[in-house]
Chains A and B, each alone.
Chain A
Amino acid sequence: MITFTEPTEQDILNEKLYADMGLTDSEYDKVVEILGRQPNYTETGIFSVMWSEHCSYKHSKPFLKQFPTTGDRVLMGPGEGAGVVDIGDNQAVVFKVESHNHPSAVEPYQGAATGVGGIIRDIVSIGARPIGLLNSLRFGELSESNNRRLLRGVVAGIGGYGNCIGIPTVSGEVEFDPSYDGNPLVNAMCVGTIDHDKIQKGTAKGIGNKVIYVGLKTGRDGIHGATFASEELTDESESKRPSVQIGDPFTGKKLMEATLDAIRQPELVGIQDMGAAGLTSSSAEMAAKGESGIALHLDQVPVREEGITPYEMMLSETQERMLLVVEAGSEDKFLDMFEGYELDAAVIGEVTDTDHLELFFHDEKYADIPVQPLSDEAPVYILEGEAPAQDETTYSYSDQDLNKVFDALIGHPTHGSKRYIYEQYDNQVGANTVQKSGFGAGVVRVEGTDKAIAMAIDGKSRYVYADPLNGGKEAVAQTFRSIISTGALPLAMTDCLNYGSPEKPEIYHQLEASTRGMAEACEMLSTPVVSGNVSLYNESKGTILPTPVIGMVGLIEDVNFMAGIEISAGDAVYLVGETTKSFAGSQIEKLIDNDIRKQTRDIDLELEYARGMDLRGRLINGEVKKIAPVGRGGIAIKLAQLSAFHHLGMKVEIDLDGEDLFAENASRYIVIAPAGLDIRDGKEIGRLTDEGFHIGTHDLTIDRSIDAISNTWEGAIPQCMTSTD
């Protein structure tokens, strides 16, 4: 007897209910073929979330295959909750980045908070203790009140979760551009450390072994969240607010500690976070990896209220839950342990020899699906891309009032100080933070050692739009620059591909070309991809700029060299690298032309690597005091940011045209060091001073007081946020 009133198999077919859940006609047909019959309501829901873009990567698999995923130090590549990379002494670093864009668009606080919670559980489910959080955020311009509301909510949500659970947020990046109006990007990254012999895999093996549920009671929140993440945002998206989950960092903290405890027990077979698609994906994926079947007795699942159907239970994305497989006979040990943490836990199933995912509710069977096809046979779509025509016009900004341009850029929220944001995040909890948000990568010491992990996150959307192939390379290279600027050896990376609808030929081309560029850069810079996430269909009023976000980690063998480095008046300022008139995707182009021309950008990855490694060596041996990669806004903005951040003046003369100060070609650095140093491809351009900021060029002179530079830079975001319109 069916206890719940649900549409029948025939209703699902006749009324195309599968389409409402996100399955296409041909996908539905494939489900029928796999099952050898029509799927019932629960089964249709299960296939729809497992085959959503978010869970199956059906449009992005071909691109992800291009990435190098192995290397001497890679212990575990893509496929698990997060990647694992060796840092010596039997220790490893575990990390991953993930998007929470769509939930954040309709419910910024909870969307961002649960994004942080989810990525933390990915790291913890590998068995690692998180040591650092990062985030990459993109919003429309802050002149719009809705974007201010989104920023306020997202930042509060990130802090609300990360601060409470007690993991320092140590770095991040923020960009403002109209293409993100109403569709902010919220990418969260978490980094943890682990001993080699503690690494867990999400697997369900051993017939008769028990499946344990632990964490928050399942409620009706977040049903079809993964499907929601895989469609465009529209005016109706507001009605999807129930698809957004609610975070509970206090339970998250208890669950984290309990999980790290469980991982030490020899009877643990496998563990996985109930993230996107909740109970469905965690059970199906674990069974698939273990080449087993799994039977779940859903009446045993701790639920928040009576009457939740098997369908709702399987599709709920209630937060703060984990699924464990433990050796038969040891289940009470685990249940007792979880009771000690005051967490709900229950045995809800067992590993079977059927190769099927079987769901029971009071002995009635609600679903019976072969595991392998559900998990691995999602359709893969290879579409045709279409490269847009190149723009042939050349740039000229020499007739502009470049002093005005300088002030506008340094005072724009994209280039200004992000203090308003990062001071809302606890960045030192754990007492191992050596370098925190404010300028460049975060650095966190590995507790009890002299080693430290450098971590950075970056994206270069305007470059990718102008030239997807080389823009993709630059996104990786920019993050590489951030890492080497701490003196760390870059180890590996994770990526989050935020794009519009892949079903549009131009977007498909962006994906195809930019990931090819990223793959090439990973190869050349020796930073394989060990984990990642894809977020497509980021379309609201228009399509977002193509935004591959790169998260990278590096290793500092002995972090003590960082103590006591201080830059001061009298130090020399060097410019390393040639400057070319490269303006495609630049900030001056955005300001003056209000557009992005599709033009070739240049980057020499071999040079990039050699230069980066050379500078890194000089920082470690004390030859140079500071390395600052030149990025958005070019030389002028980097010098101004340095001046404002350190509250120091500078007097520099540069043998360039004024407009070149705003060029954004690749592979350049500002270096601070004692005078008279011979740096390859470097030129001494001036000194740090106690008074005044001065840049001289062939045809442009910029003169400001230190206070003027600092106040403009510091005020960039607060001035927008206090606006009352």
Chain B
Amino acid sequence: MKFAVVKFPGSNCDRDMLNAAIKAGGEAEYVDYRETSLEAYDGVLIPGGFSFGDYLRSGAMASVSPITRAIKEAAAAGKPVLGVCNGFQILTEIGLLPGALIFNDTHTFISRNEVLTITNNETAFTSGYEKGEAVTFPVAHGEGHYYCDDETYDTLVENDRIVLTYNDNPNGSRADIAGIVNEAGNVFGLMPHPERALETLLGSDDGLRLFEKMNAWEANHDHIH
């Protein structure tokens, strides 16, 4: 699999994301936010950071950048699209995922390791985990409170689209939601950083399986659907 790591001027987890894709056996390249096509790639990774400084709402400026349209096309074509942290915020801003990420309830930035539960292991992203498995990923965000209205929430629950929850909710997210997928199951947004959890030396290697499954996307995705 050949992945595009979409790079905004304020992205700061771009190298981490590129390294993660490569460590999982894939190929990966940076793609500038001014590009207009992602056709050359099998999957799209949107890294964390502060895309345009985020002086406006997180991800708001990114949502009107040229690459947005190409990301939507890749999603529509069924390619895997992963947005982590700022990437998740961008995915909600451009409408590929429902809801919004608002300020943490503490009103401070929060950086620490969190224990999470895999609530749905039947997506092509999470099929490497057991259902109910506890994993440890770092979180690092100021606006990570997942917000959605009741109707959206009911839809997410009915379709089993909440795939990851916090065991000890750090930001006030609705129903402890840490990550969700779209209806087709090929767009995944999450606030915690699996790309920072690839080695026990650094505290956890729980994130590696996510990237390995993405790298085996076709086989995996066909198997699940």
Chain A residues in the interface with B (C-beta under 8 A): 156, 159-160, 163-166, 248-251, 253-254, 341-342, 422-434, 445, 447, 559-560, 562-564
Q: How far is B138's CA from A433's CA once the two chains are assembled, in angstroms?
A: 11
**Contact status of A166 and B111, CB under 8 A, knowing A248-B53, A431-B202, A562-B201:** no
Q: Which residues of B contact A430 (CB under 8 A)?
A: 15-16
18 A-B contact pairs sorted by A residue (CB < 8 Å) = A159-B109, A163-B50, A164-B50, A165-B12, A166-B12, A251-B53, A253-B10, A341-B9, A423-B108, A425-B111, A426-B111, A428-B193, A428-B196, A428-B202, A431-B202, A434-B201, A447-B15, A560-B201
The residue of chain A having its C-beta at the shortest distance from the C-beta of B16 within the complex is A431
The residue of chain A having its C-beta at the shortest distance from the C-beta of B48 within the complex is A429
Q: Which residues of B contact A423 (CB under 8 A)?
A: 108-112
Tell me the residues in window 164-201 of chain B with beta carbons closer than 8 Å to chain A beta carbons: 193, 195-196, 198-201
Q: How far is B65's CA from A458's CA once the two chains are assembled, in angstroms?
A: 45
Q: Does B13 contact A (CB under 8 A)?
A: yes
Q: Which residues of A contact B111 (CB under 8 A)?
A: 163, 422-428
The residue of chain A having its C-beta at the shortest distance from the C-beta of B198 within the complex is A431
Q: Which residues of A contact B127 (CB under 8 A)?
A: none
Partner among A163, A342, A429, A445 whose Cβ is within 8 Å of the Cβ of B16: A429
Q: Which residues of A contact B112 (CB under 8 A)?
A: 423
**Contact status of A166 and B196, CB under 8 A, knowing A254-B9, A428-B111:** no
Of B16, B195, B200, B201, the most chain A CB neighbours within 10 A belong to B201
How many residues of B sit at the interface, in one of the four size bands? 20 to 34
Q: Does B49 contact A (CB under 8 A)?
A: yes
**Contact status of A342 and B9, CB under 8 A, knowing A249-B53, A250-B53, A434-B201:** yes
Q: Which residues of B contact A341 (CB under 8 A)?
A: 9
- Min Cβ gap B53→A in Å is 3
- Min Cβ gap B61→A in Å is 10
Q: How far is B138's CA from A413's CA once the two chains are assembled, in angstroms?
A: 26
B201 touches A563 (CB 8 A): yes
- Min Cβ gap B9→A in Å is 5
Binary contact readout B39-74 vs A (1 if CB under 8 angstroms, 0 otherwise): 000000000111011110000000000000000000
**Contact status of A156 and B108, CB under 8 A, knowing A164-B50, A253-B12, A254-B9:** yes
- Min Cβ gap A452→B in Å is 9
**Contact status of A424 and B10, CB under 8 A, knowing A163-B140, A560-B201, A563-B201:** no
Q: How far is B109's CA from A423's CA once the two chains are assembled, in angstroms?
A: 7
Q: Which residues of A contact B37 (CB under 8 A)?
A: none
Q: Does B121 contact A (CB under 8 A)?
A: no
Partner among A250, A424, A428 whose Cβ is within 8 Å of the Cβ of B50: A250
A429 touches B140 (CB 8 A): yes
The residue of chain B having its C-beta at the shortest distance from the C-beta of A250 within the complex is B53
Q: How far is B195's CA from A349's CA once the two chains are assembled, in angstroms?
A: 45
Tell me the residues in window 67-115 of chain B with beta carbons closer than 8 Å to chain A beta carbons: 108-112
A253 touches B193 (CB 8 A): no
Chain A to chain B: the 10 pairs with minimum beta-carbon distance, closest first: A166-B12, A250-B53, A431-B16, A563-B201, A426-B140, A431-B196, A164-B50, A426-B111, A424-B109, A428-B138
A434 touches B10 (CB 8 A): no
**Contact status of A432 and B202, CB under 8 A, knowing A159-B109, A424-B111:** yes
**Contact status of A164 and B140, CB under 8 A, knowing A249-B50, A250-B52, A250-B53:** no
Q: How far is B29's CA from A712's CA once the two chains are assembled, in angstroms?
A: 49
**Contact status of A431 and B12, CB under 8 A, knowing A164-B50, A424-B111:** no
Q: How far is B112's CA from A427's CA once the two chains are assembled, in angstroms?
A: 8
Q: Which residues of A contact B55 (CB under 8 A)?
A: 250
Q: How far is B16's CA from A426's CA once the two chains are assembled, in angstroms?
A: 14
A166 touches B108 (CB 8 A): no
Q: Which residues of B contact A426 (CB under 8 A)?
A: 109, 111, 140
Q: Which residues of B contact A564 (CB under 8 A)?
A: 200
Q: How far is B140's CA from A250's CA once the two chains are assembled, in angstroms?
A: 17
B15 touches A424 (CB 8 A): no
B10 touches A250 (CB 8 A): yes
- Min Cβ gap B105→A in Å is 14
Q: Which residues of B contact A429 (CB under 8 A)?
A: 12-13, 16, 48, 140, 196
Q: Does B220 contact A (CB under 8 A)?
A: no
Of B20, B49, B193, the most chain A CB neighbours within 10 A belong to B49
Q: How far is B49's CA from A115's CA once the two chains are assembled, in angstroms?
A: 21
B200 touches A424 (CB 8 A): no
Q: How far is B9's CA from A159's CA once the two chains are assembled, in angstroms?
A: 19
- Min Cβ gap A122→B in Å is 20
Q: Which residues of B contact A424 (CB under 8 A)?
A: 108-111
The residue of chain B having its C-beta at the shortest distance from the C-beta of A427 within the complex is B111
Of B12, B55, B140, B198, the most chain A CB neighbours within 10 A belong to B12
**Contact status of A164 and B53, CB under 8 A, knowing A156-B108, A424-B108, A429-B12:** yes
The residue of chain B having its C-beta at the shortest distance from the C-beta of A448 within the complex is B19
- Min Cβ gap B90→A in Å is 16
Partner among B10, B19, B108, B199 whose Cβ is within 8 Å of the Cβ of A164: B10
Q: Which residues of A contact B195 (CB under 8 A)?
A: 431
